[in-house]
Structure 1
Amino acid sequence: MVSRPDYPQLASHLLEEHWGERAELSRLPGENLNFQANLPDGTCQIFKITTNDKSDVELEEAMLKHLLAAGFPVPESSPSRAGQVAVPVTIAGIPGIARVQKFLEGCSWRDVPSTEQLLYAIGNYLGRVHASLADFSHPGASRTHLWDLAAANQHVMGIRLLEEAHQRDTLEHCFHLYRALGLKYLDECPQGMLHGDPNDENILVDGEEVVGLLDVGDCQYGALIQDLAILLAYAFQQKGVGPCQAARLVEGYQAARELEPQESLALLPLILARLATSICIAESRRVNAPDHETWFSHQASTWATLESLLVISPAEMNGLLFGSLDHSDTTSIQQDRSRLIGPSLSLSYDEPLHIVKGRAQYLYAANGRPYLDLVNNVCHVGHSHPRVVSAIAAQAAVLNTNSRYLHAHLTTYADRLCATLPASLEVCYFVNSGSEANELALRLARAATSSHDVLVIDGAYHGNTGNCVAMSPYKFNGPGGAGPSSWVHVVPSPDVYRGEIRDDGAGVGYALEVGRVIGECCAGGGSIAAFFAETMLSCGGQIPLPEGYLKAAFEHVRRAGGICVADEVQVGFGRVGEAFWGFELADVVPDIVVMGKPIGNGHPMGAVITTRAIAESFDNGMEFFSTFGGNPVSCACGLAVLDVIQDEGLQERARLLGSRFLAGLNDLKSRHALIGDVRGQGLFLGFELVRDRDSLEPADVEASRLVNEMKQRGVLLSTDGPLHNVIKIKPPMVLDEQDIDMTIRLLDDALARI
């Protein structure tokens, strides 16, 4: 075993060599080479040797000088015999920078009782330090380091070092809150110079007063709330300090600098992130240097603090810290809903969520907890996207009326939509939902063909109007359904995992089934008006259409005189990644394209785009009019959605993130027999759960349990498919790599428990 260097002895030689001081050195707690130098005359000094090559001693000294000039008791450095404040040295073969600093009298905060008066004083002291540093600047201030709270995500992979699943869940929850509430607001928070590590060893007190602030080695420019979060992370570790006592610290800080609303929202997640970071760094060091006990000696108290904070919801914690408790009654709302709303309108999850806010890829519950939304493809460019919200509000403040008046938004928007489609698709109709759009597409097809019947794919869902339900096997063959109407003909789902045809020629094989059903229809005296095809099946089980299927199926339909309708309500607007529209993946051009859901990012909109010939056949003297379809506000909204998709590169993002998600899901499949199949394209994905990979017995109960387990972990998924055993993933397209990686890790743990 290699013996450790005698650092105090080595440091004493350096102190004597460069400062001419002979002293007895004892190492101080912490990860740095800091020593208390006891001089022969009974006085003390601090001898610091900085060995981290990412440290900026010049920045530290400039900040200390600024604080000293402002009257704050901080360590003052003494020059060496050569007149240098910072001296390059080598200790045990390691290069470093040595400094001698005056010893400050006082007790470490951690060694005294944390009375409410002292907590107030500590908070106020930090607030005054921040105010004093408002005019401080230094070229090296914009930096980062291991403990930078703005970069806490760098430690997420340390979660895997923990053996206990519940501990991994706890840290995942902390970093999830951090990303959803901390990072989301950090850039909007007031910025300034940070101490960087105002912990309970760096704050000196005397009675109820702060008498010193030590160690600015982690100083940097950033959001001021980061310092307050670190301070509170240590306050909560003091004996007898809970939210009510910590509120006094916050009160003291605000007496010097009032917090802005977004800072209060970010505070708890940043506190949790600091504690989680401490654990992850310590676990990493435990692996790399297990004999260095001081690096992870505080793990037990950190865990205890973390777990005590997590039993309090973010909203409740904010109320306790800032005196603004919200008493929203979720139970009462649910009871009122049961009384006032039709019982056929369902709620998601065993324990329904009370959602009060959405932002980007997150939904936020009334208790302040964020949920990563992986099922809401309606809010395509992110919940409450500011550009979309602004466009709606701006136009609503000027004019909203119907389409019987001329307005440039209507034609501009129609032109922009048509530009994304093949040239033959050039005439637009605007409605208010995908259901209305499919209903109109049916009318167009019947007018163009003078035929009545339609073909639909088994498991398909096309909307909630009467005719749309009649065209949706997912509904009419499901609970409460009455089976197919005489004018609706169902073709087999082209499912290469569970269907009858599973080989490389499945696409053409399933298309032959389309031809067969057409033949049966015609033999019975019917004629086909249209073939309605989702370009990737959604309710049918997140099923991509096999290669060659749509092209061959369209040929069969057109030979029979029918119209080919591409239902893009679920997958359009770049979600599939490789193309803007799902039908483009099959290299076909439909006669009618139906749009809904993502078209307005949550604003109620729908559209039908078709050929001029079909549009002219529909112009038979009966006016088509939708009161709200194509109104100026809706068009402004639709234009903003198109702008965001283009400007933020969301189609390419869907392609890249979809590949990452598929890789992660396939890795899970290789390790969890419950996953029978992984499928999809871009950010329209699914994985099917089976109890046996040979018999394909559907694991519907397990799928429901997995969805609810993931909801408990802060990730929203949903089941679908005719057998209710497919987990569907179709998130807002603004999620990021960390969201995907977290989801895969959480699924891994959840699947292991099912």
Structure 2
Amino acid sequence: MADSALFQRAELPRPNFSEADATSLLSDMYGFNGPIRELGSQQDRNYLIDTGPERFVLKICRAEYAGDELEAQNEAMRHLAQCGLDLRVPELIPALTGEEILSVKVNGEDCRARVLTYLDGEPLTRHKHLAPDVVAAFGDVAAAVALGLRDFSHPGLERNLQWDLRRAGPVALHLLKSVTDHKRRDQIAKAMILAVKHIQPLAASLRIQPIHHDITDDNVVSRRNANGRLVPDGVIDFGDILNGWLVADLAVTCTALLHHADGDPFYILPAVTAFHERYPLTKEELMALWPLIVARSGVLVASTEQQLAIDPDNEYVIGNAAHEREMFEVATSAPFSLMETAILKAAGFELTGPELVFAHPLLPGITPDQMRLTDLSVTSPDLVRDNWADQEIDWKLLARAAAETGIASTRYGEYRLSYTRTLSATAPATFALHIDICLPAATEAVAPFDATIIRDGHHLILSSQNVSLHLDGIDCGLDDGTAVNAGDSIGVVAGAAGGIGGLRVQLCRDPDLVPPLFAKPHQSEVWRKICPSPSLMLGVGVDAPDLQSEALLVRRQKSFAKPQKNYYAEPPQIERGWKEHMFDVQGRSYLDMVNNVTILGHGHPKLAAAAGRQWAMLNTNSRFHYAAVAEFSDRLAALAPDGLDIVFLVNSGSEAVDLALRLAWAHSGHRNIVSLLEAYHGWTVASDAVSTSIADNPRALETRPVWVHPVLSPNTYRGKFRGDNATEGYVTAVEEKLAEIGESGQGLAGFIAESVYGNAGGIPLPAGYLQQVYASIRKRGGLCIADEVQVGYGRLGHHFWGFEQQGVVPDIITTAKGMGNGQPLGAVITRRDIADSLEKEGYFFSSSGGSPVSCVVGMTVLDIMADEKLQQNARDVGDHLKRRLEALGQRFPLVGAVHGMGLYLGLEFVRDRETLEPATDETANICVRLLDLGVIMQPTGDHLNVLKIKPPLCFTAESADFFADMLEKVLSEGW
């Protein structure tokens, strides 16, 4: 077919074929009747009919598409169905006459009609975000289809289509006439020229075979697995099948992925890896892949402009236009050399370029012992408090080092903390691809290799065939285009005579590329192949040490007890925190939504200073007489209700609960404790005994000692009794348990419960519940223990203690967590008569409980909470965040409820708001996606379907909005 015929076909509008025409044809020729709707297409008409038991698709194309082309599509579907692939493909349905392809004339137009089975499932295009494993599965589907078609043949495969990437150049040239936006037309033209330039030298080595050529997110159907993840398992629309370049099939798939990529071209790499694993590609094919992706995206955008010009009401084309523009923008945002290297790496090829030879050092007057390297990493001791947020901090620290030693340099390959960005959905570019050197002005610089001088303002480039050297800060008297030999002087370091000058140095293997100074962490390995270290060229080692995150995780798993779990299957290595933010070693910032231990926030300078001062003076045990233990005990007692004026100091919440139980036993003379089901109180033998959370202990209900008597958890959302009138039912459950204990002739020691149902995400107890339960417990001689470890200490905002919400006063309060802002610190607060009961069992001693350092830390925490009004902040910001989350609940059915108050909130996910089926797998996947977006969050609750929101109390409204925005993004785009 000549190009003129190709272009004429490309300009065809859809057939003039209505729903009424489709209804008539399906009834008359196929005997199908039922509701019908159009599915949309670029140049065809597709209609879905639901006959009741089954659904089918009627496909109408213009007669310009030859019969053998349609027969090739039909035979290809049959062929794939018989290949034994684990893939669904449509099945052809013959007409009542037995014909598979009907020639019909409608509204004066000759058309061809076919009916296929409809594949149930979700097209991937409906989901903005596709997880890496779904992207990989997408690539695997493309490979499976290509492999299945490898031995297929048919005369109808020799086609001349505008989508054939072998013709991308002339097709784009023709289509550009329809692009009326001059800026966009120029962008497409430039991209196509570069793409074709890269493809042409490789074209002869690219394999040709039958290819589907349209494995896109529109044409891959998926179903959800048991974990709630999409699994691509079906392929539709064989309308573009032809004999073409094998790698073009993958290029089409990867191009379609780019509108899911959030601007990241590396997003396609799991698909490349998966395709290559199933159907290995040659190095030349992989080198051609990115240029083909660019070409495909350019043709798509130009074709859409043309199609809208001839068929302006085509909703399918209108709907895809934004996606296609996004594909083009991402495809043209990345250098060809970067993506070629990334693709080869993803396919397992060794990334070795030509050996770089430097005949002379750039700075011949500098020796290794003169150079001082400046640490600007996440763990740098020179980065304190938030000075890393100062945009000039790197230069300030470098200049300070140079002033002390004469010559100082930053480090190549270092992840710089100063380039982090808090509250960012994407990881910032923190990996240094260059170095900056502070050294005496007028220091001579020479050409390390034969090169041509390129002047760009103050920027100087030494360009050769294999590498270019980019320099800033050189006074160079050479003209643009001057050829220099290795060892020739190229100038001197700029700066005032006798002063210090600054020199920026960067190498790049791609002479046509102006490289960035920094790379994103996930792209750093590839970028460092393109922009290698200047150490060899300088004759001085300027590289930062390699990170050891994976090796450290292996060491942790080898020597650190397995039951002490870590967050995430692939955890970031967190080494720094500031306020509500945490930072990994690559400079990625995360919003900390789970750390109720650090109540003040991370890295508080006043707390660090106070702890440091006390460590330098004294740290011992509480049997010694020192001021801090008396002062801190007084302050804790003052925070408790009247009558609770005796304090025990311990190291954790588990110890506090353990001691509280011992006090109840000693005071009552009995052992029996009533507790709540689904509660968690700690890990010691006693605190674990009263914990029945199956999330923390799957065998919790089987292993309770006889003295523990669990009762129904007063969960008013998913418990036995729900809503506003649930109190009576739950109180009755306690009364029945108490009666059971009484009938056995045993006495009662006490009752323990969180004042707010923390394990389930902060569900308030039913109104009046504790008042009635406490009265019943005390009537039988028991003590009432309020476990405030998670929910107390100002976190609720509206109350300092959780029990205040219920209008009760317990006999014993246990508290810990935020008391020490990370320092091991817990307390039991009770009455004197209860505390004295322990004397008959002997004295109580904790080696480090109530130590001077712990007490000073505890008092400083209280000071800062008061000075910075953190309880009020918890109330105000918590209320704001809860409103934001409740608004999400109005939009997304997955949100079953928003529990809690202040900065102790619970977001519960359910698959069905009537049955309350827990969305356990979805919650886990949401947490992984949130981590990608810069939010640390973990599932909790017995069903692991609750996001327990408990950030530091310095949490700002801006951070609350960022969290809500990211959660909205996940719920709307998928996970």
Distance in 2 (alpha carbons) for counterparts of 1:240 and 1:357 = 39
Whether 2:700 is the aligned partner of 1:489: answer no
SS at structure 1 position matched to 2:680: coil
Task: Give 1:725's match in structure 2, choosing from 945, 951, 963.
Answer: 945
Indicate whether 1:185 and 2:387 are aligned: yes
Q: Aligned match of 1:617 in 837, 856, 865?
A: 837
Report if aligned partners of 2:760, 2:946 keep a CA contact under 8 Å in 1: no
Moved more, 594-603 or 528-537: 528-537
Contact 2:600 2:952 in 1 (8 A): yes
The secondary structure found in structure 1 opposite 2:916 is coil
1:621 and 1:527, CA in 2 relative to 1: closer, same or farther beyond 3 A? Answer: closer
3-state SS of 1:551 partner: helix
Q: Cα 1:239–1:703, aligned 2, differ >3 Å: closer, same or farther?
A: farther
Spell out, residue by residue over 1:591-647, the C-alpha distance to the aligned partner (whole angstroms, 9 max, x if none).
100011111000011110101121122222611111111111110000010011000
d(CA) in 2 for partners of 1:540 and 1:633?
34
Task: Tell me what 1:218 maps to.
Answer: none
Match of 2:853 in 1: 633
Aligned counterpart, 1:454: 673
3-state SS of paired residue (2:859)? helix
Q: Please tell me whether residue 345 in structure 1 is matched to residue 564 in structure 2.
A: yes
Q: Does 1:502 align with 2:704?
A: no
In the alignment, is residue 592 of structure 1 matched against residue 812 of structure 2? yes
Structure 1 length normalisation: TM-score?
0.61
Counterpart amino acid of 1:692?
A: D
State the SS of the aligned residue for 2:609. helix
Percent identity reads 37
Question: How far apart are the structure 2 equivalents of 1:749 and 1:239?
Answer: 43
Q: What is the deviation of 1:363? A: 1.6
8 Å Cα contact 1:425-1:611 kept in structure 2: yes
- Structure 2 CA distance for aligned equivalents of residues 657 and 595 of structure 1: 23
Paired residue secondary structure (1:344): coil
Q: Displacement, 1:478?
A: 3.4
- Cα distance in structure 2, aligned partners of 1:310 and 1:559: 63
Mapping of residues 44-193 of structure 1, within 5 Å: 166-167=261-262, 184-185=386-387
CA distance in structure 2 between the aligned counterparts of 1:391 and 1:182, rounded to whole angstroms: 16
Structure 1: distance between partners of 2:750 and 2:931: 40
- Over residues 120-142 of structure 1, what are the superposed CA-to-partner deviations in whole Å (9 max), with x where a residue is unaligned? xxxxxxxxxxxxxxxxxxxxxxx
Determine the C-alpha separation between the residues in 1 that align with 2:698 and 2:962: 35
In 1, Cα distance between the equivalents of 2:263 and 2:384?
Answer: 20
Q: Deviations over 1:498-537 (max 9, x none)?
A: 0121131223432222222111222223322111111222
Q: Take 2:887 and 2:461, find their aligned partners in 1: how far apart are those partners?
A: 45
Distance 1:309 1:518, change over 3 A: same
2: CA distance between counterparts of 1:579 and 1:457?
Answer: 23
- Greater RCO structure (CA 8 Å; 6+ sep): 1
Match of 1:130 in 2: none
Name the CA distance, whole Å, in 2 between partners of 1:564 and 1:257.
71
What is the number of residues matched between the two proteins? Answer: 505
**Normalising by the residue count of structure 2, what TM-score does the alignment of the two structures yield?**
0.48
Q: Which ranges of structure 1 fall in alignment gaps of 5 or more residues?
A: 1-162, 171-177, 192-228, 265-300
- In structure 2, the partner of 1:686 is 906
**Cα distance, 1:540 vs structure 2:** 3.5
- Deviation of the 1:704 alpha carbon: 0.2
Say whether 1:545 aligns with 2:765: yes
- Seen in structure 2, the aligned counterparts of structure 1 residues 640 and 189 have a Cα distance that, compared at 3 Å, is farther
C-alpha spacing 1:332/1:577, structure 2 compared with 1 (3 Å): same
**Distance in structure 1 (CA, Å) of the matches to 2:824 and 2:494:** 45
Amino acid at match of 1:535: S
Check conservation: 1:358, 1:364, Cα contact below 8 A.
yes
In the TM superposition, what are the counterparts of 1:206-225 in structure 2 within 5 Å? none
State the secondary structure of the residue aligned to 1:419: helix
Q: Give 1:726 deviation, angstroms.
A: 0.8
Q: Find the aligned partners of 1:244 and 1:583 in 2 and give their Cα distance.
A: 69
Alignment-mate amino acid for residue 575 of structure 2: V
Name the residue aligned to 1:713. 933
- The answer to whether the aligner puts 1:646 opposite 2:891 as a matched pair is no
Structure 2: which amino acid aligns with 1:358?
Answer: G
Where do residues 192-591 of structure 1 align in structure 2 (5 Å cutoff)? 248=472, 309=520, 311-312=522-523, 323=542, 325-474=544-693, 478-481=697-700, 482-591=702-811
Q: Is the 8 A contact 2:694 2:942 kept in 1?
A: no
Contact 2:597-2:818 within 8 A present in 1 as well:
yes
Distance change >3 Å, CA 408–CA 692, structure 1 → 2: same
Which residue is 1:675 aligned to?
A: 895
Contact 2:674 2:709 survives alignment (8 Å):
yes
CA contact (8 A) 2:717 2:723 kept: no
CA contact (8 A) 2:654 2:681 kept: yes
Cα distance in structure 1, aligned partners of 2:554 and 2:615: 34
Alpha-carbon offset, residue 484 of structure 1: 1.9
CA displacement at 1:737 relative to structure 2:
1.4
Instruction: Tell which structure's C-alpha radius of gyration is larger.
Output: 2
Distance 2:469 2:668 in 1: 76
SS in 2 for 1:529: strand
- The answer to whether the 8 A contact 1:690-1:698 is kept is yes
Query: What amino acid is the match of 1:627?
Result: S
Counterpart of 1:290 in structure 2 is: none
Query: What amino acid is aligned across from residue 692 of structure 2 in structure 1?
Result: P
Contact 1:381 1:641 in 2 (8 A): yes
Q: Secondary structure at the match of 1:393?
A: helix
The 3 A distance-change label for structure 1 pair 188 and 642 is farther
* Distance change >3 Å, CA 445–CA 508, structure 1 → 2: same
- Quote the offset at 1:384 in angstroms: 2.2
The residue number in structure 2 matching 1:124 is: none
Q: Which residue of structure 2 lines up, in the alignment, with residue 83 of structure 1?
A: none
Question: Hey, what does 1:15 align to over in structure 2?
Answer: none
Structure 2 residue 951 is matched with structure 1 residue 749: no
Residue deviations 1:154-195 (CA, integer Å, cap 9, x gap): xxxxxxxxx97754899xxxxxxx9xx99943676769xxxx
CA contact (8 A) 1:357 1:364 kept: yes
TM-aligned CA deviation for residue 455 of structure 1: 1.2
Unaligned 5+ segments in structure 2 are: 1-257, 266-377, 394-431, 436-455, 475-491, 505-512, 535-540
* Cα deviation code 1:438-464 (max 9, x no counterpart): 111011111111111111111111111
Instruction: Give CA-to-partner distance per residue, 1:634-670, whole Å, 9 cap, x none.
Output: 1000001001100000000000111111111111111
1:196-237 superposed Cα distances (whole Å, 9 cap, x missing partner)? xxxxxxxxxxxxxxxxxxxxxxxxxxxxxxxxx9xx9x99x9
Q: Which amino acid aligns with 1:486?
A: V
Question: What letter matches 2:764 in structure 1?
Answer: P
Shift of 1:395: 0.5
C-alpha spacing 1:239/1:308, structure 2 compared with 1 (3 Å): farther
Q: Contact (CA 8 Å) 1:169, 1:746: kept in 2 or not? A: no
Q: 1:530 to 1:747 in 2, by over 3 A?
A: same
- CA distance in structure 2 between the aligned counterparts of 1:544 and 1:484, rounded to whole angstroms: 26
* AA partner of residue 568 (structure 2): Y
SS of match in other structure, 1:474:
coil
For 1:185, the aligned partner's letter is N
For 1:459 and 1:239, the matched residues in 2 are separated by 67
TM-fit CA distance, 1:709: 0.5
Say which is worse superposed, 742-751 or 324-333, in terms of deviation: 324-333
Structure 2 SS opposite 1:473: coil
Q: 1:239 to 1:499 in 2, by over 3 A?
A: farther
Q: Secondary structure at the match of 2:840?
A: coil
